[in-house]
Chain A
């Protein structure tokens, strides 16, 4: 089954048409990469999937987006965002909250836990899942701002998966990290896809090749090509894709 489908999706910022008729089918429990040069609309497309784009009053969406067959526009946006977690390009744990509270926040907001014990259990589980537990277990109540960039990003992953979402969106999650931290996040993606569907945006074809099962190439708001990762990389059908993959495009 497809975790997410988009149908003739158009997105505008005011009069600026940035996503132009995109049709996607993202299979369940896979890693789906969206790659393309900077400014082609990757972040915009990704934010439309969990209806986060609607925070921006100028953004207008046309077409349909379905989560496991159901239109997200027929759902409460709060439920959509609970079921579709998101990790951002800049690690953004809340600096005024402790590490523990950052992970617990979504659970509390959505009233998903009944007792303190249950909360502790899920926080621990999420931190273990995001390979951060061993590094922070002795300082759970220190401010999240004391962590390194890579740790912060894993904290954001823990914060997102604590809600046990069905889908996890990642917008260039390693763009602001050093290579070692970036590697750790990529390894994490392999682990996480056993339980959920991951949609990752990247401007690096190499990263798409390393982490994804499927890849879509977006260019100037249009979907140029989409398919199994090895097919696209070994045998691109479109000239634009080939140019992009061989680095002959700006």
Chain B
């Protein structure tokens, strides 16, 4: 008991430190973005304007396009990553030959750890031209009456390009969580499903139901990484203040906006606060998404 308590007093400061840093960061974000809120109120989040000016009277910033783009591309990324990562996890555990399992897992873990600029360059020079030529153009030519496909893909830089690239980038993360959960399903449940006359497909479906919490965790992680990703996205999204329903339209995301504008922000009076406010919105989106996930998981409680 005594030793436990000693250990506790040793650990507590670290816990406090982590929390302290987090709170401090939040405070910095709030105070640093205060000037823009005083000037514009919530218009910083609800309008799509980017007027930089030497004359502070003429400055006006509204990051709605970037918020829209961040959510749009991250949702796309999750929609792409989810089926990919589940299929990959099931394939590695259930179907891959024994000798291939370990190399496949190591390969995806390496993919997860690659610097994101590597994905960015590949995305800009390989993925975007391919998507433009073989996906966007045909869809636009035949289905442009559907709003999703209604934008003429001129450059190929678009929400779709960013979403696909992000989907590929976050798949290894989501897949690792789902794979480990799927692998550690107790054998008695596998036997239990098959003993009822399930086919392999049916058994997999039921066992995936058993690890639903891990799948939700995988989605959260994927979404969080996608919305925070910066360099790779800014290479393929087009970086224009644009709000368009079409997948093929170029746009902006919050993180690419911050990265692109950061360099010259100090010249203007209100741009730095505007960028901090943009960062704060990422905080808030992340918080909402994680709380929603936690609430879902809490509803999904079961013993053990």
Contacts and interface: CB of A to CB of B under 8 A. Distances in A.
A81 B189 CA distance: 15
Contacts of A105: 196, 206
Contact of B195 (A86, A93, A96, A146): A86
B192 A79 contact: no
B38 interface: no
Given A105-B206, A145-B304, A146-B303, A92 B188 contact: yes
Given A92-B188, A95-B210, A96-B212, A159 B302 contact: no
Interface string B220-258: 000000000000000000000000000000000000000
A82 interface: yes
B192 A81 contact: no
Given A95-B304, A96-B212, A146-B303, A55 B194 contact: yes
Interface string B180-207: 0000001011111111111100100010
A159 B197 CA distance: 12
A52 B191 contact: yes
Interface size class of A (residues with CB under 8 A): 20 to 34
A78 B188 CA distance: 18
A227 interface: no
B194 A52 contact: yes
A12 interface: no
Of listed B186, B188, B191, B209, residue having the most chain A CB within 10 A = B191
Interface string A73-115: 0000011011001101010111111000000011001100000
A11 interface: no
A106 B198 CA distance: 8
Nearest to B197: A82
Contacts of A92: 186, 188-189, 191-192
Closest 8 A/B residue pairs (Cβ):
A106-B196, A82-B197, A92-B188, A145-B303, A86-B195, A92-B192, A145-B302, A81-B197
30 contacts: A50-B195, A52-B195, A55-B190, A79-B197, A81-B194, A81-B196, A82-B196, A88-B188, A88-B191, A90-B188, A92-B188, A94-B192, A94-B193, A94-B206, A95-B210, A96-B209, A96-B210, A96-B212, A96-B302, A105-B196, A106-B197, A109-B196, A109-B198, A109-B202, A145-B303, A145-B304, A156-B192, A160-B195, A163-B196, A163-B197
Given A95-B210, A159-B196, 18 more contacts: A52-B195, A55-B190, A79-B197, A81-B196, A82-B196, A82-B197, A85-B195, A86-B195, A88-B188, A92-B188, A92-B192, A93-B192, A94-B189, A94-B193, A95-B304, A96-B209, A109-B197, A145-B303
